[in-house]
Structure 1
Amino acid sequence: MSKLTPMMQQYMEIKQKHKDCLMFFRLGDFYELFFEDAEIASRELEITLTARDCGLENRAPMCGVPYHAADGYIDRLVSKGYKVAICEQVEDASEAKGIVKRDVIRVITPGTLIDTNLLEDKRNNYLLSLYISTVGCGLSYVDISTGEFLCTEIIGDEIEQKIIDEISKIEPTEIIYFIEEGSISSNLIEDIKKRFSTYISIYDSWSFEKDHGINQIKDQFNIVGIEGLGFHSNHLGIQSTGSLLYYLKSTQKRSLTHINKINLYAFKEKMILDTFTRRNLELTETIRGKNKKGSLLWVLDKTLTAMGGRMIRRWIEEPLLNVEIINQRLQAVEVLKEDILLRRELKESLKQIYDLERLSGKIAFGSANPRDLVALKKSIYFLPIIKQLFDNKTAGLLGELLTNIDPLDDIKNLIDISILEEPALNLKDGGIIKEGYNKDLDELQRASKEGKHWIAKLEQQEKDRTGIKSLKVGYNKIFGYYIEISKSNLHLAPESYIRKQTLANCERYITPELKEIETKILGAEEKIVDIEYEQFIEIRNILSLEIERIQRTANAIAELDVLYSFAEVAGESNYIKPTVNDSEVIDIKEGRHPVVEKVLENDMFISNDTYINTEDEQLLIITGPNMAGKSTYMRQVALIVLMAQIGSFVPAYSAIIGITDRIFTRVGANDDLSQGQSTFMVEMSEMASIINLATKKSLLIVDEIGRGTSTFDGLSIAWSVAEYICKTLGSKTLFSTHYHELTQLSETYTGIKNYRVSVKEDKDQIIFLHKVLKGSADKSYGIQVARLAGLPKDIINRANDILIDLERKNSDEDNHSNDVSKESEVALTSNNIDINKEEQLKLEDLVELGIIKDLKHINLLETTPIDALNILYRLHKKATQL
């Protein structure tokens, strides 16, 4: 260290305090990186790696970026998962004795980004803190760009799985943690690293101490006791919150006034959706491709603001358990759905509103620029317009939201009188403050304008005096103002001109008069920039005192936006208002899958009824071939329940939804190679989690349990699981299977009923009718499905031969049945009856397709000719499926 040059010694001393960061070290107009930091930055940013003498035998690797363009480079590094420490000069170089003092003014991490260019508009950017003790877990997370701060504690059973589920829901970009020795499995952190694309690091243990946490909370929220925030004395969230607040302060090194409240939540308040269920139901992204399109969020998200987009995602991931709050949302959606004109006018106003949450965050953070304030003003303009759209007597949730929308007139007026409509982006460029706001500034601006007028007048005066028509007065930052004369006219230059610069084609001169004018102009412009900067900072500081009002209004606008979105989707897609109550019944008439329905064209989706309770229709065993729609049907029931409990209308003719505390899904076959688990192990792990956590008020979606092992093993497991659910759990369950033997359970248990997805056979082909009816399927049609999938004909024929052989060997009864079938076919042929001939539709066909039910629902007195044609078209489509 002693061999290093003084400047490099300073660098190393600061770097020692930020070993886990890439340090941007300010030297003049550049940020420089040295040693390993330089090698990393050079590789990641694709910039030239050089070297610098540092006092050691070998030169120090070095690379750098211009300070005025550093933000883009920093953003790229942070997006790749690096932390970046910004080291600046903290004293005036002209007053420094020796090396100018430098220090880190901010550490930028993946979880502390505030640059809106790097953040997704409709997705939060969360930083999460985990404190894990022998008792349980404290979990806190914050979006520094919006000020949203939440906290919970996890205790009891399945702590590790609950932590994984919460992280899956929150999707933080960065995690800090501390784990007490002997508290949980040491594999948890490795599991998190493998499952999630997040920056994760252990943090100082002392920052998780309880007393430290209490002090941090008191200091941040300016309170004398933490009980008022909802913390009890042993709440584990104290430790996770304290460490998170300290981490923010130590990295951002400034006051974070926009983090002014904390939301303590408990698991009993909202439906818990585990990782498997969230994935299997494709709530916010598809299983394949991880795309929004094809998810429930894609269907429901018609929000017009970034704030609403973030809120609707949270609502989908956290269905409610409180019937009263759910029905308040449903009533609000109903008002908006029924009033199309209101909805249209609301849309026009909402789409004009910028991201108030992140604008308030930037104001509090001190990073808002003049254009941000103009965006805030433009947004505020539409707040009273939105309030005026509704009647003063508007009640319920809508009335509450309208009350919470503050017109913010004082904020709008301040920005309106002070900030130009199209201000400069850079604070140091001037062009920010309106004329009339500051008297001193106005005088300087007049002097500047007059000076420029003098320049123009001087140019014309000198042209007349010298007779040089091409003479011009110019300016550059190096030489200031000058008189330029071309080479061909140099003989006409007056002797009073003082040569300033010689160029290839001209000479540049100055005069005492020009120098005097230059001093006035440049002096005024420098002062203008300084005053405008000071005035803007003062305005921004005034606005920072009103952050809570802006945030409260932003939250109300976001919620109104989500309710508008639900109403818009309901209107477009013919959704209905569900009845949500505390019963144990789910009764859905003509339910539809919201995503599949949207993807299909020409109104081709086949609706289905569902009735399930905790008594005589508690576990529905569903049989039928692959591709017939069993999984779609079961998922649609789960999605309709979830949609109802977030306050959305649902795709059905009618729906009664008894509150469901949890939805569990065991769907599909997936290896988890990162965890060393086979398809069957994943299947059993998911099923074990369901069995251990489900209650009587839960909804279980069990699809093809036991298929990952041998036939008898799988059948035994499936049989036992179904019995256990029925006898012990009592949960409402949809249970699909290819084990037709399970249909015998309905003879033993009154709560078990058999249903099948109907198909129609035509020669060696099958037609999927996608209709769920009572009863059980007689076979699985696997070979026919393989044919549809495109397997070669030789394989299909051979599979048929093998199937026949297996059936003969395993069941004499099946042989007898086959003989009878052949005898019947011979008898029909001998009587000249063509068994392949199309027959007239039978009554049972009409029932099976739901055509009779459709006819019953037609109101002839209100049916228009166009309606009649549409009805006839749909009935014809259904009939032609046979």
Structure 2
Amino acid sequence: MSDDTPSPMMVQYLGIRAANPGALLFYRMGDFYEMFFEDAVAAAAALDIALTKRGTHAGAPIPMCGVPVHAAESYLLTLIRKGFRVAIAEQIEDPAEAKKRGSRSVVARDVVRLVTPGTLTEESLLEARRHNFLAAFAEVRGEGALAWADISTGALRVMPCPLVRLAPELARLAPRELLVCAGARLDDVAAEAGAALTELAPGSFDSAAGARRLAAIYAVETLDGFGSFERPELAAMGAIADYLLLTQKGRMPRLAPPAREAAGGAMQIDAATRRNLELTQALSGGREGSLLAAIDRTVTAAGARLLERRISAPSRDLAVIHARQEAVAHLLADPRLAADLRAALARAPDMDRALSRLALDRGGPRDLGAIRAGLEAATAVAALLGEDAVTVLADAATALSGHEVLIDMLDALVAEPPLLARDGGFVASGHDPDLDDTRRLRDEGRGVIAGMQAEYADETGIPALKIKHNNVLGYFIETTATHAARMLAPPLSARFIHRQTTANAVRFTTVALSELETRILNARDRALEIERGIFARLTAAVLGASGPIGQAARALAEVDVAAAFADLASGEGWSRPQVDDSRAFVIEGGRHPVVERALKRKAEAFVANDCALTTGETPAIWLLTGPNMAGKSTFLRQNALIAILAQAGGYVPARRAHVGLVSQLFSRVGAADDLARGRSTFMVEMVETAAILNQADAAALVILDEIGRGTATWDGLSIAWAVLEHLHASNRCRALFATHYHEMTSLSARLPGVENATVAVREWKGDVIFLHEVRKGAADRSYGVQVARLAGLPAAVVDRAREILAALEKGGREGGARPAALIDDLPLFRAAPPAPPTPVARPSAVEARLEGVQPDGLTPREALDLLYELKGLTAAG
């Protein structure tokens, strides 16, 4: 290429690149996706691959890098995780057609897909047990709505969502990508939720246009048949539809009819509470250590995703909760049925995602095989459930039945189909007579080739003669250069036609071999053509039944979650909670499921504790005191997790539980700063506390740990005191309030419904022994110095702390001075004397004797003598 006249290929590349701003361009060239210019520089750094150069442009070398097409998915995954969007440009015509336009003509290429975090469908790019949501937030005249879709499963949901509720809802959904109107300035909200932010033009959020787009997708005149949607909801769903049409280049993925979620249908849990309670993700960032990891006993990917949704959004509908509990109880009462169901479910592949890939024309025979295996598992599960199942399981059995016709059609596939249709070999023998005949010709042709090779070897007298095949020459006869002279000379030269000479061999053909090759090649192509036709028919049949297949997939997930909860309850000794619309919160023998699981690995027992927050209409607050490390935070969290599990429809880790519906769950536990927003640890604590006090209603459950710890003692005590009074007087909710400010325990005497509780400890010879038992009453102190000693603080520091604590306590008992003044007057608070220098130890006689000994050089006799000598030195010392 010259600087002034870029090649036709580069002109094409620059044109495609300009039409897809904001995305890396994967430009297909043969067996590679190539990247140029800034894309190459960015991709090479992100993927840790070589950056090369190709030609020049505008007087500078063109940076270039590439990835193999067959391995592109792994590179895509890396780029997506690092926040890139990728445009895939494929060849859209045959190279032979391009040559007809002239020797310098370039094969036509165009972007066939934009790969973004929220639009993934490939199995290798997705986490099987987690959703991959694409969300959109829209505002119309001050009213907001949030819509979300998972195109890998076809789910589409929408709900009213004012801007103030956006962050908590995103925390619940954890979408991979959030669509907003350009200029919305929601970068912080998206970043907090871990979602990539994509801004769309205002036209994408037009509610009227959105309604038309959705009607076209579902081939209906009006959306009224799916429910009543407000303008913001139509705008949000319309934005998702518009974005999918853009990224999939007009090929719309399969979407289930939109479902509207009521704003108050689930327990409200804000982002801070989810983070503090580690519901689906541990504070360390991984799944291990979370509640979900501790309780997940599902055996299907769809079941795991449903369980995550249940834990992320516990229901507030008593009928739904009780129905789910009945399903668990039914399986608990019949362990044999539960075991058989789990065995059948374990054979069910992920039908939802296979169906979505087929709908987007990204599927293959293996996806059809997954549909067949899933429907076979559905039939087996339905047969096991029978007609006596409770409501949830009976409804599931209905959805799981009636797929025999489609299963029979899919029996055309072999037992283990290949990944790609172009490879062929996925249709079972006996299904299509024409295909069987064509395959017979193809396969017998190979036998004829072998016979022809033997014939030619005998005729020429060259045993090493071979008949081979490649994509350039087709079938050819190959022999070494040494034997080739015989075939090039009469009479053999009349039959064997010379085709090619290489460094080590000479290649020939014959008329008979060419004719046989034509028959064999036609048979191979014909067989592939027949198989592709069968694949198309089966795919069409599956997509035509996508509704019932989707219902069966959801039913399998429902049964899986019920069976998983039953297995968990049976194995861990969990009980069925009583859930009603009262204000009760009574837990007997409650345990923390994650901590108990960790202790079991160490063969240690978890100490169960009771909790009772029932006081009629009066606010019910436990003021919990006790030392650090005694288990206060564990106690707070376990009660919150029990409420979540109860309203998710499962059993709970307690001997008995009575939970009045919890409308909102708030947690202020732990200490963390937010330096990116300029917030100190104390500021974060106050912001989260303010959110609780401003939002919690009378049906909320609030757990607070060490409010006021991030500031001075008297400031912290004042704030904690006022917060508790506000919870009691204004919020009037159920709460667990842990504190080290023992002065607050006096509040129980004047605030009805406030009770003191403490975590019991014992002192023994200056050490503190944690009993982890929560009892009524107040702690007399916090045992901080003892805990500091256990943590390994130097003995001098611990002793000094004891002296200071004793002086402070004495001054407080005698009614006197402020702590600062008291400390200033204490003679013990003069600069502590430096520790005496550690004496330098001199080597003992034994050490001096051993200094020059080389053990490897000693004979057995010398070693024995040395041992006696050392013994004597020890006795003398």
Same fold by TM (over 0.5)?
yes
**Residues 622 and 754 in structure 1, CA contact (< 8 A), matched pair in contact too:** yes
Offset at residue 318 of structure 1 (A): 0.4
Give secondary structure in 2 for the equivalent of 1:558: helix
Kept after mapping to 1: 8 A contact 2:386/2:397: no
Answer yes or no: is the 8 Å Cα contact 1:4–1:56 preserved in 2: no
Q: Hey, what does 2:611 align to over in structure 1?
A: 610
- Partner residue of 2:441 out of 443, 447, 451: 447
SS in 1 for 2:708: coil
1:178 maps to 2:173: no
Distance 1:205 1:808, change over 3 A: same
Distance 1:777 1:405, change over 3 A: same
Partners of 2:586 and 2:659 within 8 A in 1 = yes
Question: CA 1:636–1:74 in 2, change beyond 3 Å: closer, same or farther?
Answer: closer
**C-alpha distance in 1, partners of 2:156/2:615?**
39
Alignment correspondent of 1:587 = 586
Query: 2:515: which partner in 1?
Result: 516
Deviation at 1:99, TM superposition (A): 4.6
1:753 aligned to which of 752, 755, 773? 755
Partner of 1:60: 62
Q: Deviations over 1:620-679 (max 9, x none)?
A: 111111111111112111111111110111111111111111111111221111221111
1:272-307 CA deviation, whole Å, 9 max, x = no partner?
A: 1101111111111222x1232222112210000000
Cα 1:248–1:480 shift into 2, 3 Å:
same
Contact 2:587 / 2:610 at 8 angstroms: preserved in 1?
yes
The 1:500/1:8 distance shift into structure 2, 3 A limit, reads closer
- 2:605 maps to amino acid: M
- 2:111 corresponds in structure 1 to 104
For residues 388-426 of structure 1, give each alpha carbon's deviation from its aligned partner in whole angstroms, at most 9, with x where no partner exists: 222312222111111121352222211212x22234433
Q: 1:442 Cα deviation (Å)? A: 3.0
Change (3 A) 1:9 1:677: same
Tell me if the contact between 2:4 and 2:58 (Cα under 8 Å) persists in the aligned partners.
Answer: no
Give the SS at the match of 2:264. Answer: helix
For the structure 1 residues 708 and 55, does the alpha-carbon distance in structure 2 shift closer, same or farther, using more than 3 Å as the test?
closer
- Residues 48 and 772 of structure 1: is their aligned pair in 2 closer, same or farther, counting only changes over 3 Å? closer
Answering whether residue 628 of structure 2 is matched by residue 639 of structure 1, we say no
For the 8 Å contact 1:611–1:617, the answer to whether it is kept is: no
Query: 2:188 maps to what in 1?
Result: 190
Decide whether aligned partners of structure 1 residues 53 and 395 sit closer, same or farther in structure 2, where only a CA change above 3 A counts.
Answer: same
Q: Cα offset for 1:319?
A: 0.5
Cα distance in 2, alignment partners of residues 196 and 122 from structure 1:
19
Deviations 1:434-459 (A, max 9, x none): 33433443332222223222212212
Q: Which residue of 2 aligns with 1:231?
A: 228
* Residue 28 to residue 702, structure 1, CA distance change in 2 (3 Å): closer
- Percent identity, please: 38
CA contact 1:808–1:814 (8 Å) conserved in 2: no
Quick check: 1:134–1:180 contact (8 Å CA) kept in 2? no
Equivalent residues of 2:149, 2:155 under 8 A apart: yes
Q: Which residue of 2 aligns with 1:335?
A: 330
1:404 aligns with 2:399: yes
2:215 matches 1:208: no
What is the letter of the counterpart of residue 569 of structure 2? A
After TM superposition, give the deviation of residue 813 of structure 1 in Å: 6.2
1:484 counterpart residue number: 478
Q: Deviations over 1:235-287 (max 9, x none)?
A: 41111111110000111024435203112112201011101111111111222
2:366·2:420 contact (CA, 8 Å) conserved in 1? no
CA distance in 2, matches of 1:244, 1:716: 49
Cα separation, 2, equivalents of 1:331 and 1:715: 47
Give CA deviations for 1:768-800 in whole Å, capped at 9, x if unaligned: 111111111111111111111111111111001
Moved more, 392-401 or 615-624: 615-624
Residues 5 and 55, structure 1, Cα contact 8 Å, conserved in 2: no
Amino acid paired to 2:187: I
What is the 5 A alignment of 1:552-701? 552-601=551-600, 602=603, 604-615=605-616, 618-701=620-703
TM-superposed deviation, 1:106: 1.2
Query: For residue 271 of structure 2, what is the aligned residue in structure 1?
Result: 275
Residues 708 and 28 of structure 1, relative CA distance in 2, 3 Å threshold: closer
Distance in 1 between residues matched to 2:14 and 2:273, nearest whole Å: 50
**Secondary structure at the residue paired with 2:269?**
coil
Provide the residue aligned with 2:89 in structure 1.
Answer: 87
CA distance in 2, matches of 1:600, 1:424: 45
Instruction: Let me know the Cα RMSD of the aligned residues.
Output: 2.3
2:375 and 2:552 in contact (8 A); partners too = no
Q: How does 1:758-797 map to 2 (within 5 A)?
A: 758-797=760-799
Structure-2 change in CA distance of 1:360 and 1:725 (3 Å): same
Query: Aligned with 1:111: secondary structure?
Result: coil
Amino acid in structure 2 at the alignment position of 1:224:
E
Q: Which residue of 1 aligns with 2:134?
A: 127
**1:523-562 equivalences in 2 (<5 Å):** 523-562=522-561
The answer on whether the counterparts of 2:345 and 2:560 sit within 8 Å (CA) in structure 1 is yes
2:219 maps to 222
Question: Measured at CA, do residues 104 and 652 of structure 1 come closer, stay the same or move farther in structure 2, by a change above 3 Å?
Answer: same
Residues 119-146 of structure 1, C-alpha deviations (whole Å, 9 max, x = no match): 1110111111122455132211111111
* 1:737 equivalenced with 2:739 (yes/no): yes
Once structures 1 and 2 are overlaid, which stretch shifts more, 219-228 or 631-640? 219-228
CA distance in 2, matches of 1:745, 1:689: 23
Which of 139, 142, 145 pairs up with 1:138?
A: 145
**Amino acid aligned to 1:21:** A
Tell me, in whole angstroms, the C-alpha distance in 1 between the residues paired with 2:619 and 2:427.
71
Partner residue in 2 for 1:819: none
Q: Provide the residue aligned with 1:382 in structure 2.
A: 377
Q: Equivalent residue of 1:421, what SS?
A: coil
Task: Choose 534-543 or 239-248, whichever is displaced more.
Answer: 534-543
Is 1:361 paired with 2:364? no
The question of whether the paired residues in 1 share the 8 Å contact of 2:646 and 2:652 is answered with yes
1:406/1:391 CA distance change after superposition, 3 Å: closer
Tell me which residue corresponds to 1:164.
167
Which 5+ residue runs of structure 2 have no aligned equivalent? Answer: 818-877
- The answer to which of 537-546 and 649-658 deviates more is 537-546
Q: 1:470 aligns with which of 447, 464, 473?
A: 464
| 1:706 Cα offset (Å) | 1.2
Q: Which aligned pairs between 1:823-834 and structure 2 lie closer than 5 A? A: none
Three-state SS of the structure 2 residue aligned to 1:243 is helix
Contact 2:673/2:684, CA 8 A, preserved across alignment: yes
**Is 2:125 aligned against 1:118?**
yes
One-letter code of the match for 1:754?
A: N
Deviation at 1:56, TM superposition (A): 4.3
Segment drifting more, 484-493 vs 688-697? 484-493
The one-letter code sitting in structure 1 at the alignment partner of 2:346 is K
Q: Greater shift after overlay, 162-171 or 98-107?
A: 98-107
> For structure 1, which segment, 524-533 or 718-727, has the greater mean C-alpha deviation from structure 2 after superposition?
524-533
TM-score by length of 2: 0.87
Change (3 A) 1:93 1:469: closer
**Aligned equivalents of 2:77, 2:737: Cα separation in 1:** 49
Following the alignment from structure 2 to structure 1, what is the Cα–Cα distance between the partners of residues 468 and 591? 73
Q: State the distance in 2 between where 1:453 and 1:762 align.
A: 89
Partner of 1:431: 425
Q: Secondary structure at the match of 2:118?
A: helix
Shift of 1:29: 4.4
> Where does residue 238 of structure 2 map in the other structure?
242
**Cα distance in 2, alignment partners of residues 380 and 89 from structure 1:** 37
* Unmatched 5+ stretches in structure 1: 816-882
In 1, Cα distance between equivalents of 2:9 and 2:386 = 68
DSSP 3-state at the match of 2:800: helix
* AA at the equivalent of 2:446: K
Aligned counterparts of 2:789 and 2:764: Cα–Cα separation in 1: 14
State how far apart, in whole Å, the 2-side matches of 1:134 and 1:689 are: 25
Alpha-carbon distance in 2 for matches of 1:66, 1:744: 72
- In structure 1, what is the equivalent of residue 415 of structure 2? 421
